[in-house]
Amino acid sequence: MIQIPKGETAGSMEGKVALVTGAAGGIGRASAEAFGARGAAVACLDIDRNGGEKTAAAIAEHGGSAAFIPCDVADEAQVEQAIAATVERFGRLDYAHNNAGVEGPVVPLTEVSRADWDRLLSINLTGVWLCMRAEIPLLLESGGAIVNTASASGLVARPGGIAAYVATKHGVIGLTKGAAVDYSAAGLRVNAVCPGPIATPFIEDLADDVKEMLLSLTPIHRFAAPEEVGRVVAWLCSDEASFMTGAAVAVDGGVTAF
């Protein structure tokens, strides 16, 4: 008989280890802090040392255990070294949030340069694949879980010159589903989170008319706080979501409800 986790212990991550890429800010920092709040030790991976160290320090200030580990997810050697360093530091790996990504240029598809296309793919899609390839053997040992950051733009397309970005995020969902089918029977769950517009410096710097356009496409009519996505990521990794795999979970204020 399958034992269904119940009570406060169902969401506890005491004694577990989580890895978050793109942990220097935004959703990555929020999910790292959510893992820490549930009791997990957290490896905070990013190319931004200052931001990554601040995330680790914030977790430690609240009584958790965390370490910054430098990593460019588009670099195969750095990914392997960072995940090895995580295990060396904390002794195991139970959860992975493959979150690092870039937005890319906002231009018509025919004006996307090959360099920009390659950069988007290398970080948003190949970076997720490189991380998963290194994480999966460890997570099969621990019976862990992966969450990949896709986007509401991985579920639908929107006008406005982001077709290349949309392609990479659709790819993340396809990679997530394929891995879930391949590995869930072996005890590894793999899901994706699909955020809508998030209150980040990128959004704050947009022109007012662009912000209003984004809000008009969001039924809740506000931008999400990164923490609203970070908590979902930690929940998807927890035993509370033990029957969820291969899902692309929209945390988008209703953007994809249209």
Q: Which residues are catalytic?
A: 165
In terms of Cβ atoms closer than 10 Å to its own Cβ (0-12, 13-18, 19+), residue 7 is exposed
Distance of alpha carbon 49 from alpha carbon 53, whole angstroms: 6
Distance of alpha carbon 48 from alpha carbon 32, whole angstroms: 15
* Closest alpha carbon to 192 in 168, 171, 165, 172: 172
Handedness of CA 175, 215, 21, 125 (dihedral sign): positive
In terms of Cβ atoms closer than 10 Å to its own Cβ (0-12, 13-18, 19+), residue 88 is exposed
Task: Spell out the alpha helix ranges (H) of the chain.
Answer: 26-37, 49-61, 76-90, 114-120, 127-142, 163-183, 201-204, 208-216, 226-237
* Closest alpha carbon to 128 in 67, 193, 65, 196: 193
* Closest alpha carbon to 73 in 51, 102, 41, 36: 102
Distance of alpha carbon 164 from alpha carbon 118, whole angstroms: 10
- C-alpha distances in angstroms, 236 versus 77, 96, 170, 189? 28, 11, 20, 9
